[in-house]
Amino acid sequence: MTEILVLAEHVDDDVKKVTLELITLARRFGEPSVVWTGPGAEQGQARCAEYGAAKVYVAADAAFDDYVVAPAADLLAQLVAEKSPVLVLLAGTAQGKEVAGRLAVKIDSGVLTDAVDLQPGDDGPVAEQSVFGGATIVHSRVRRGTPIVAMRPNAVAPEPEPGPAEISQVSLAADAKGAKVTNRVVAERGERPDLTEASIVVSGGRGTGGAEGFQIIETLADSLNAAVGASRAVTDAGWYPHQFQVGQTGKTVSPQLYMAIGISGAIQHRAGMQTSKTIIAVNKDPEAPIFELADFGVVGDLFKVVPQLLEEIGKRK
Amino acid sequence: MNIVVLVKQVPDTWAERKLKPADGTLDRASVDGLINELDEYAIEEGLQIAEAQRAAGHEAEVTILTMGPEKAAESIRKALSMGADKAVHLLDDGLAGSDALSTSYALAQVLGAVGFDLVICGSESTDARMGVMAAMLAERLDVPQVSLASKVEIDGSAVRIRRVSEDGYFEVSSTLPAVISVVEKINEPRYPSFKGIMAAKKKPVQTMSLADAGIDLAAVGLGGAATEVVDHTQRPPREAGTIVKDEGDGGVKVAEFLAARKFI
């Protein structure tokens, strides 16, 4: 049977949603084998099984915690050699893409990143990518080696389908080396979902007027169980931390719903959110380019529109 | 300390960027090129590290390495006017159409030829946005990958960085030589001074061909790429949405839209 390797992203035993998306996607091409690095596999296995994993390769070596990127690429290269999969899928996160890059060099295979779709083709999988700030749609394929594809989170909807998820222990053949992790600091995010994985993202821009004004964005996000994003104007001004910037030089998101509040929608910003499924915009300038993308837009003062919206959401709960 | 900063010339984000119909490669000729914004942080970081080395009594030199067509010389000039000491321009028609994998091969060949203690690049380019180059180069050069740095500290022959992650950061350290990539806002890139611009005109720029760097022509360019574009189209404009003016009921209208789409 055709085997597909899926590198799991997880925090301890908590499988990230993007991994379930990858397992779902892998079923289009063959039998998904999840590659689990580090601890937590025994508990994580159940989730992988729910989404149709045939196997779970577990490598519990300490190297995965102690070194960045390189050990995961080593392990994948080892499994590619042993199992001859037809495809390797990874999450299109910054780290996932780095692992993909190293693996590509190791096994001399083509790598595609930031795919928003992947379909079987006559000459192997064909990836859809959205480039130049979303203005151009590109279909590309790998023409040498085992295709390596890093999928953008939220590219496909996870669909449960039971699978055996049979655990098989593997271990790194090579000694870990390279850059050593000496400390990990997890930022306080509270209960909010991860920005790149969230189904709903509420972003605020220059129109919020300052750090204090930006708080309304957090309140709205929490009322929708959404992640908070910000335009570059906001993070440059220091109104909100830089890691929440959505745009060309920040995070790229494609949630089910994207709400742009007080954001004009310059290309810098559009590049990070144009592939969102539904877009809502609130801006006082009727000429703001964000309205060209919006499925629904309100021309008005966000400090009037958002409080009323919050009240309505409260009533409907 | 021999610091090599990788600089890529990219089409201006604000211009209309297109792929060429014939081969699906980027049309670099029709738009203005400029230094990839994230590389400006890499240049600044390189300059700051070199300055600190010199202040501590060590020798240090910053070399700019660019692969790209003739036009990329503009970006090299700017990097030199910011304060880099010299540059290497890998320039050869055979490179056109290279993908990330073949680009990393070509750059690694040059880096091997010129030597380095530290390679610094931006975390991604604003055109391709793959974010794989530091990882690929570290793998090819068999040196530690110290990437996605929001803070870099050099201590003797060791480097320590703060690596940004999805949910916080890691502290990562390694010995030199190493490959570093830096993220936006790690520093405030300087503007070239008038003196810097004048001085840049006299700084050495070495042009290297494939043969000079020992690069196999068959492994680069469109022919050597491990990936290919099947087709590409302009995204059709999104269907025009409903835009309403707030008449005191804007919030209610948004809520109605959200409810109709089952978001609330």
Contacts of A224 (CB under 8 A, 6+ apart): A200, A202, A257, A259, A313, B263, B264
pLDDT digits (tens, 9 = 90+) for B133-151: 999 999 999 999 999 999 9
Is the predicted pLDDT of residue A177 greater than 80, yes or no? no
Gyration radius of chain B over CA positions:
22
Nearest-by-Cβ selection for A306 from B19, B238, B251: B251
What pTM did the predictor assign?
A: 0.92
d(CA A258, CA A244): 14
For A161-168, what is the mean pLDDT?
A: 97
- Cis ω for the linkage preceding B177 (within 30 of 0): yes
Percentage of chain A with pLDDT > 70? 99
Percentage of chain A with pLDDT > 90? 83
Nearest-by-Cβ selection for B132 from A113, A135, A180: A113
For A194-223, what is the mean pLDDT?
A: 96
> Are B139 and A106 an interchain contact pair (Cβ–Cβ within 8 Å)?
yes
In the block, tokens 């009037």 appear at: A304
d(CA B33, CA B196): 21
pLDDT digits (tens, 9 = 90+) for B18-70: 888 888 888 887 788 899 999 999 999 999 999 999 999 999 999 999 999 99
Q: Is A88 on the interface with B (CB under 8 A)?
A: no
For A2-11, what is the mean pLDDT?
A: 96
| Strand (E) or helix (H) holding A43 | helix A41-50
| Strand (E) or helix (H) holding A167 | strand A166-169
Looking at CA atoms only, how far is residue A237 from chain B in angstroms? Answer: 12
Is the predicted pLDDT of residue A150 greater than 80, yes or no? yes
Looking at CA atoms only, how far is residue B187 from chain A in angstroms? Answer: 12
Q: For residues B230 and A137, is the Cβ–Cβ distance under 8 A?
A: no
Sheet architecture: strand order including B168-175: A180-186, B168-175, B158-165, B145-155, B178-182, B118-122, B2-6, B61-67, B86-90, B205-208
Interface of A with B in 110-139 (CB under 8 A): 110-114, 121, 126, 130-139
What confidence category does residue B261 fall into, taking pLDDT thresholds of 50, 70 and 90?
A: very high
Q: Would strands B61-67 and B86-90 be described as parallel, antiparallel, or unpaired? A: parallel
Kindly report the three-state secondary structure assignment for every residue of A79-145. HHHHHCCCEEEEECCHHHHHHHHHHHHHHCCCEEEEEEEEECCCCCCEEEEEECCCCEEEEEEECCC
Q: How many CA atoms lie within 13 A of B103 on its CB side?
A: 23
Percentage of chain B with pLDDT > 70? 100
Instruction: Pick from A67, A74, A75, A102 the residue to mutate for testing the B interface (most B CBs within 10 Å).
Output: A102
For B112-135, what is the mean pLDDT?
A: 95
Give the pLDDT confidence score for residue A1 in this predicted structure.
67
Give the pLDDT confidence score for residue A233 in this predicted structure.
95
How many angstroms separate the Cα of A126 from the Cα of each of A120, A252, B78, B175? 6, 21, 39, 40
pLDDT digits (tens, 9 = 90+) for A256-279: 999 999 999 998 899 899 989 999
What confidence category does residue A28 fall into, taking pLDDT thresholds of 50, 70 and 90?
A: very high
Is the predicted pLDDT of residue A188 greater than 70, yes or no? no
Q: Which of A99-113, A169-183, A243-257, B234-248 has the highest mean pLDDT?
A: A99-113
Is the predicted pLDDT of residue B93 greater than 90, yes or no? yes
* Residue of A110 and A183 predicted with greater confidence: A110
Encode burial over A51-69: b for 16+ CB neighbours within 10 A, e otherwise: bbbbbbbbbbbebbeebbb
> Are B126 and A248 an interchain contact pair (Cβ–Cβ within 8 Å)?
yes
How many angstroms separate the Cα of B264 from the Cα of each of A300, B86, B254? 22, 59, 11
Give the pLDDT confidence score for residue B4 in this predicted structure.
98
How many angstroms separate the Cα of A72 from the Cα of each of A67, A68, B153? 9, 8, 26
| Strand (E) or helix (H) holding A33 | strand A31-37
Q: φ, ψ for residue B40 (rounded to 5)? A: -60, -35
Give the pLDDT confidence score for residue A174 in this predicted structure.
81
Which chain A residues are closer than 8 Å to B244 by Cβ? 297-299
Q: Would strands A87-91 and A136-142 be described as parallel, antiparallel, or unpaired? A: unpaired
Is the predicted pLDDT of residue A140 greater than 90, yes or no? yes
Which chain B residues are closer than 8 Å to A102 by Cβ? 135-136, 138-139, 145
> Are A312 and B37 an interchain contact pair (Cβ–Cβ within 8 Å)?
no
* Residue of A241 and A33 predicted with greater confidence: A33
Nearest C-alpha in A relative to B158: A179
What confidence category does residue A189 fall into, taking pLDDT thresholds of 50, 70 and 90?
A: low
Give the pLDDT confidence score for residue A56 in this predicted structure.
98
pLDDT digits (tens, 9 = 90+) for B170-193: 999 999 999 999 998 899 999 999
pLDDT digits (tens, 9 = 90+) for A68-98: 899 999 999 999 999 999 999 999 999 999 9
For B112-119, what is the mean pLDDT?
A: 97
Give the pLDDT confidence score for residue A287 in this predicted structure.
96
Is the predicted pLDDT of residue B215 greater than 80, yes or no? yes
CA dihedral angle for residue B77, residue B30, residue A128, residue A229, rounded to 10 degrees: 60
**E strands within chain B?**
2-6, 9-11, 33-35, 61-67, 86-90, 118-122, 145-155, 158-165, 168-175, 178-182, 205-208, 227-234, 242-245
